[in-house]
Amino acid sequence: MTLDSAQANYTTTEKELLAIVFALDKFRSYLLGSRVVVFTDHAALKYLLKKADSKPRLIRWMLWLQEFDLDIHDRSGAQNLVADHLSRIERAEDSADVLPIQDNFPDENLLTVSSVSPSTTPWFANIVNYLVLLFFLL
C-alpha cells in the first residue's frame, strides 16, 4: 500500500488504522461472516474503537469496521519479529525499478481446476471450469 500526499500526513494511529481498513477491504469477501483477529504493535488501536469522540475520518472507519467480527490484540514488535522487520524495510520510492502491484486477475484464471498431468485431472474439472467460465476448456 502506498500512501498519497494527504495520507502521508496522518498520525501514526491513523496510519495503523488505515492499514487495517485497507487489508480488510481487500479481503472483505473472504472475511465477512467469520471472526477476524488482528495483531498489532500499536496498543492505542484497541481502545480507539471504543472512543466516542474522534475525528470524522476515524469514526467513518470505525463504523465500517463494525461489519466484521473484529478482535484486535496488542502484540509488541519483539513478539512479532517478522511483521516488525517488514514494517521497517526502506522502500525505494524514487527508483524507476518500482513496479505496481498487480491485484486484478482475469476471470478465466480464477477458480479454474487444473492439474500438472492431464491424466490426473479430476472428473469434475470440466464441470467446474464450465460453471466458472461458461465454456469448456480443452
Going by pLDDT thresholds of 50, 70 and 90, the confidence category of residue 97 is low
Per DSSP, the three-state class of 83 is helix
Distance of CA 62 to the CA centre of its chain: 17
Q: Where are the domains of the chain?
A: 7-104, 105-138
43 or 69, higher pLDDT:
69
pLDDT digits (tens, 9 = 90+) for 31-67: 888 899 988 887 788 777 777 788 888 889 888 988 9
Q: Which residue has the higher pLDDT, 109 or 66?
A: 66
Which pTM value belongs to this model? 0.60
Mutual angle of helices 12-26 and 56-65, in 10-degree steps = 30
Alpha-carbon distances of 72 from 7, 31, 45, 92, 109, rounded to whole Å: 22, 15, 8, 31, 34
